[in-house]
Amino acid sequence: MSQRDLKGLFSALLVSFDEQGNINEKGLRQIIRYNIDVNHMDGLYVGGSTGENFMLSTDEKKRIFEIAKDEAKDSLTLIAQVGSVNLKESVELAKFVTDLGYDAISAVTPFYYKFTFDEIKNYYNTIIGAVDNRMIIYSIPFLTGVDMSLSQFGELFSNPKIVGVKFTQADFYLLERIRKTFPDKLIYAGFDEMLLPATVLGVDGAIGSTYNINGRRGRQIFELAKAQKITEALEVQHVTNDLITDILDNGLYGTIKLLLQEAGVDAGYCREPMKKYTPEMVARAKEIYKKYF
């Protein structure tokens, strides 16, 4: 099992697709290189929501995991999101990425069906029990509908192989309680627009989609906040949130890809049923790039 440090800033890796929705390997490798060479990320979170993961086949997921590992090699930390409503697939992917040498695995809480907490707990213990690796819980209630309490996080954390949580929710009271109660567990901020307050509350790092293009500002916020330079950090957070507002107004994943295109990266298209780019969307992305980069 890898002992690489899991702290720091991670891009939730975008995946480049061609117009037919097939994986564009050349473009994916360029996105990875941009995150390494330009954004100077500490790591990549591969196979998450930003990677359009839940619209992919098992074989496509494996191919993306392979490409990311091959391109990044050992230059930064790699976390693989293997969660699925299909537990057998999650176990299969956990074994696959562990054999590839990923530093940790992550899994979204099982969604769609109203699973009991005992079912959720069994899901996590089953996945991590199948491999010699470390698990990061992926808590994103606004997409999964799964809210967990402090005591339930504690039950999951009682498994020593479950080492942390990607906390993508706005309940900062719960975040503070988790930080105080479980000082030895890792917490990653999942909302890029709230990186500053999350860092003040003591997160160990952050995982976000906008870091694919805005990683340098993310780094400034994170480092300034850790140095208790809150006023300076807030100034950068303001600019970042102006950018995020403009991105969200134009279409989240597509606009980030279009911004990367402006930076010379073949970031490709989104997979349907996500919408195709309109001329207006492309023009607006060019305006956003000129404004912020």
User: Is 138 tagged catalytic?
Assistant: yes
Q: Which residues are annotated as a binding site for pyruvate?
A: 50, 207
Owner of token pair 């069906």: 113
Q: Is 124 exposed, middle or buried (0-12, 13-18, 19+ CB in 10 A)?
A: buried
Which residue is catalytic, options 45, 123, 138, 289?
A: 138
Catalytic-labelled residue, pool 61, 69, 121, 166: 166
Q: Binding site for aceneuramate: which residues?
A: 49-50, 168, 190, 192-193, 209
Strand (E) positions, the chain? 8-12, 43-46, 77-81, 104-108, 135-139, 162-167, 186-189, 205-208
Which residue ranges make up the annotated binding site? 49-50, 168, 190, 192-193, 207, 209
8-12 vs 43-46, strand pairing mode: parallel
Instruction: Report how far residue 85's alpha carbon sits from residue 108's, in angstroms, rounded to the nearest whole number.
Output: 9
Who contacts 130 (Cβ-Cβ below 8 Å, separation ≥6)? 91, 94, 95
Query: Is 166 an annotated catalytic residue?
Result: yes
Residues with active-site annotation: 138, 166
